Amino acid sequence: MDRLDAFERMLADIQDQAAREAEQMDALRAQGKEKTATYKQYVGNRLIFKAILEKYRDYGLLDR
């Protein structure tokens, strides 16, 4: 596997994980569980994913 393949896999993994966690957050929010540790962890992860994806955009590796 070359570096480009590794970066592409990383990008896909981050996007997939972000989507799965967004679904989990929606489910927790629907149950009124916004104050749980799990929900707060998802919020933290969301900020990290957003920052990583923004870096990809900054370098032209992801559409805006």
Per-residue pLDDT tens for 4-63?
Answer: 899 899 999 999 999 999 999 999 999 999 999 999 999 999 999 999 999 999 998 888
State both tokens at 50. Answer: 């957003």
Task: Please give the pLDDT value at position 61.
Answer: 84
Helix, strand, coil percentages, rounded to 5, for the chain: 80, 0, 20
- pLDDT at residue 64 above 80? no
Residue 63's pLDDT is 80
Chain centroid to Cα 6, Å, comes to 17
How confident is the model at residue 21, as a pLDDT? 97
Instruction: Supply the pLDDT for residue 40.
Output: 97
Q: How far, in Å, CA of 22 to CA of 32, rounded?
A: 15
Structural domain spans, the chain: 3-58
Alpha-carbon span 50 to 64, nearest angstrom = 12
